Homo-oligomer: A and B are copies of this chain.
């Protein structure tokens, strides 16, 4: 038996939905100015800024080491407005075009966040470089989900795809640090090294069980389980929640985002169980856009697949296939009941990174249609119509870019199985606590919850709509608004 289990004033388990009252704190085991929950990219960024502003900072991470889902990501960061990499690669960009794009991409966007993010994009780039991240001045031109090279720049969303291409002047804004393959680990290594080198104190294997709230409703600390013992930690300036989304919590998905239960390859760590969101809600925070998420069944690369056509169970096309794979995935899952095939001919077919199976391979479209049990003459018409216009470089239905328009004529023809029942659907959640751009958490009336901040997927940030996501919005938004939360908390009065 541990000390905690025998002491009556230290309960064995606490519920995330029941804040600890200040009068129930037996004594403070630790005091700090800013307490940060979670050491992914949002928490690390918050820690660096809060410490830089002169605050005492403690970071609690439930895993034994920091990194979180960010460390497992591809490592793209959405930046623009004329970064050195964009300029070196010959791309013009402006804060205004980036703003227009992100407003369209976010769906129900938070204009004040988007504005602040765009206006500070160059500064944020410099901050990342200052941490030791190097971005190669080279452009990866092939359409992909995440470049396998160490090139520093790529298109990482729907910028060149209709209708976004008409809403804002396209520019590549996916910035990747110089490393081959995924870049998330490198990014987190640099951030974690900076945190380690600074004054912030990191405590690992520390699961925060609930927040501590004072009589007047202010968040004044947290109760964490460290070494199987409950630790009461006072935060004089505030608590920053940065503990990730809830893609790993099937109960939360069922309650808030039932459509995302169809994701069979969740992007996240075990810690992405939404505990931070739930603790924030328990002290009066409001969780918003909880139904939203990213979903993809990446049918490209190879980029040649963008020359194929996605069809639904009616044999109809339903999207321009050159859309970002998350936009296609959103359309398949939410619009087509999770059922679609990519129709390709032999010249453009290739293996996908998700190892999609072929639902059928036939020498004619007629036979393919029959093999897939599509309605009679449906696929034949769709391909005939597509081919006729593609030959002229046109896609009157969905306006796919000319580069990907080419008649499908080289037999045999295959249907790449993009049905939810047979293919990988990856994804994660967007919903979280409603925050101001400063990171302050808002209650149901839009008032600030005193002492509480949130960033990363504990908050509803830049991305709020699977139909418009671009790679890099998560790492970009979470690091930037993590910094904001850290700065704001550090500027708060000490209590």
Contact = CB atoms under 8 A, between A and B. Distances in A.
Interface of A: 15-18, 107-108, 217, 251, 254-256, 258, 278, 281-282, 284, 286, 288-291, 314, 316-317, 334-335, 375-378, 381, 385, 396-398, 434, 443-447
A457 B217 CA distance: 28
A251 B446 contact: yes
Contacts of A316: 316
A16 B335 contact: no
B378 A396 contact: yes
Nearest to A18: B217
A376 B388 CA distance: 12
A385 B381 CA distance: 10
Contacts of A444: 16-17, 278, 281-282
A467 to B, nearest CB: 10
A217 B283 CA distance: 12
B286 A284 contact: no
Given A278-B444, A444-B278, A255 B335 contact: no
12 contacts: A15-B445, A17-B443, A107-B258, A255-B286, A255-B288, A258-B289, A278-B444, A282-B444, A290-B291, A316-B316, A334-B334, A381-B385
A314 B434 contact: no
Given A15-B443, A17-B284, A17-B445, 5 more contacts: A15-B445, A18-B284, A281-B444, A282-B284, A334-B334
A214 to B, nearest CB: 12
Contacts of A281: 281, 286, 444
B397 A108 contact: no
A385 B396 contact: no
Contact of A258 (B108, B255, B335, B434): B108
A398 B284 CA distance: 46
A383 B254 CA distance: 40
A396 to B, nearest CB: 4
Contact of A445 (B16, B107, B314, B397): B16
The 4 lowest CB-CB distance pairs between A and B, nearest first, are A108-B258, A375-B396, A17-B443, A291-B291
Contacts of A445: 15-17, 278
A314 B255 contact: no
Contact of A376 (B317, B396, B398): B396
Contacts of A375: 396-397
A26 to B, nearest CB: 18
A108 B254 contact: yes
A443 to B, nearest CB: 4
A396 B315 CA distance: 11
A278 B446 CA distance: 11
A421 B484 CA distance: 38
B447 A314 contact: no
A334 B254 CA distance: 20
B385 A397 contact: no
Nearest to A281: B444
A16 B444 CA distance: 8
Nearest to A288: B255
A281 B281 CA distance: 8
A91 B376 CA distance: 36
Contacts of A254: 108
A120 B216 CA distance: 45
B377 A255 contact: no
Contacts of A447: 15, 17
Contacts of A108: 254, 258
